[in-house]
Amino acid sequence: MTASNAVSSDAASGREIVATRLFDAPRRLVWRMWTDAEHVAQWWGPNGFRNTIHEMDVRPGGAWRLVMHGPDGTDYTNKFIYLEVVEPSRLVYDHVTGPLFRATVTFTDRGEKTEVTVRMEFDSAELRNRVAAEFGAVEGLHQSLGRLADKLAPMPKDGEFVITRVFDAPRELVFRSWTECNHLKHWWGPKDYVLTRCQIDLRPGGVFLYCLRPPEGADVWGKFVYREVIRPERLVFVNSFSDENGGTTRHPLSDTWPLEWDNVITFAESDRKTTLTLRAVPSGSEIEIDTFDRSRHLLAQGYGGTFDQLDAYLEKAK
């Protein structure tokens, strides 16, 4: 469902700078990465840049205001005004601070892939060439698209654990069931475990901290640290065991279980049913990765039982 190791090329002539890149991700996902402020802030600009977005009003006449923080500490204030917003196929906006130009971004559906073309048009060839020379605009545009490709890139398949389940429920409900405590308390965790604490900050960098109480024995604490939240299509997070304060801890029963493992969950809807795919990849030492690999059957059993509980809950919640 995600990301990109696609070919890039650029064409520049006369008054324009043009770049095209093919992303290995569906068009609506790429559109959302381009129009949601929380996601744009993570990839916009050349390598090493950070962003503070003060406003992103994606509608004709709306403003997009941000400060780009260069790796040398220099801040660059930018303001754009949207002229056209045709979801999910076309954006047109004017850059109205510093060098003036009009940008047209097109999103072309290529099946499960998306071709993005960015066309920056200047008032004159002289201005275009000065911006290219002084600001490195051509290379900067390619690096920016490369950063977006990295954000969309699929997780490595080596060592990957994958489980898929089709739920007879609409995608929005399934997504909310993964991200709202009033839903999670009815199904999250192994059979007969009770969710006694649930705290969710649903944003990139936010944390889902939870406590599960088994029928016998000590409470089990865990957490997700979200990297991407694309409602209702995709969640990316780092999973680990934790203490009650959210500190990362070892598996309570295994010193060689990975301290952290990366997860991607995708939600695809068809005919009011939702296909959920969870992918998990461990990080850590060779011993930790080997422990994870040898526990695949236990992971399958554990997630299978948890998904059974989610299935039963969704049947009641529809």
Q: Does 298 map to a domain?
A: yes
Q: Does 1 map to a domain?
A: no
| Token pair of 210 as six digits | 């939870």
| Token pair of 257 as six digits | 């279980």
Q: Does 3 map to a domain?
A: no
Neighbouring CB atoms inside 10 A of 222's CB total: 18
Q: Which residue bears the tokens 């490369």?
A: 146
* CB-based contact 188:195 (threshold 8 Å): yes
Q: Are residues 146 and 289 in the same domain?
A: no
Q: Are residues 18 and 119 in the same domain?
A: yes
Q: Are residues 134 and 234 in the same domain?
A: no
Q: Does 305 map to a domain?
A: yes
pLDDT at 78: 96
Q: Does 2 map to a domain?
A: no
Q: Are residues 252 and 178 in the same domain?
A: yes
User: What is this structure's pTM?
Assistant: 0.56
Residue-level pLDDT, tens digit, the chain, 318 residues:
344 444 333 444 589 999 999 998 888 889 989 998 888 988 999 988 999 999 999 999 999 999 999 989 999 999 999 999 999 999 999 999 989 999 999 999 998 889 999 999 999 999 999 999 988 899 899 999 988 988 786 655 557 899 999 999 999 999 999 999 999 999 999 988 999 999 999 998 999 999 999 998 899 999 999 999 999 999 999 999 999 999 999 999 999 999 999 999 999 988 889 999 999 999 888 899 889 988 888 888 889 889 999 999 999 987
> Which amino acid type is present at position 102?
R
Q: Are residues 87 and 227 in the same domain?
A: no
Q: Are residues 187 and 214 in the same domain?
A: yes
Q: Which of 134, 152, 170 is the last residue in one of the domains?
A: 152
Q: Does 16 map to a domain?
A: yes
Considering only CA atoms, which of 34, 85, 77 is closest in space to residue 58?
85
CATH number at residue 200: 3.30.530.20
Please count the residues of the chain: 318
Cα separation, 122 vs 131, whole angstroms = 9
Q: Which residue bears the tokens 């993570």?
A: 42
pLDDT at 38: 82
Q: Which of 87, 121, 152 is the last residue in one of the domains?
A: 152
Q: Are residues 313 and 167 in the same domain?
A: yes
pLDDT at 272: 87
State how many domains the chain has. Answer: 2
Q: Are residues 112 and 254 in the same domain?
A: no
pLDDT at 293: 86
Q: Are residues 138 and 215 in the same domain?
A: no
Q: Which of 114, 132, 152 is the last residue in one of the domains?
A: 152
Q: Are residues 209 and 311 in the same domain?
A: yes
Q: Are residues 140 and 223 in the same domain?
A: no
Q: Give the range of the structural domain holding residue 103, as residue numbers without chain letter.
A: 8-152
Strand partners for 116: 21, 107
* CB-based contact 312:195 (threshold 8 Å): no
| Token pair of 116 as six digits | 């993005």
H helix runs in 6-107, sequence order: 27-35, 37-40
- DSSP-assigned states of every residue in 170-227: -HHHHHHHHH-HHHHTTT-SSTT-EEEEEEE--STT-EEEEEEE-SSS--EEEEEEEE
Q: Does 278 map to a domain?
A: yes
CB-based contacts of 188, cutoff 8 Å, min separation 6: 195, 198, 210, 212, 306, 309
Q: Does 232 map to a domain?
A: yes
Cα separation, 307 vs 299, whole angstroms = 12
Q: Are residues 283 and 300 in the same domain?
A: yes
pLDDT at 287: 92
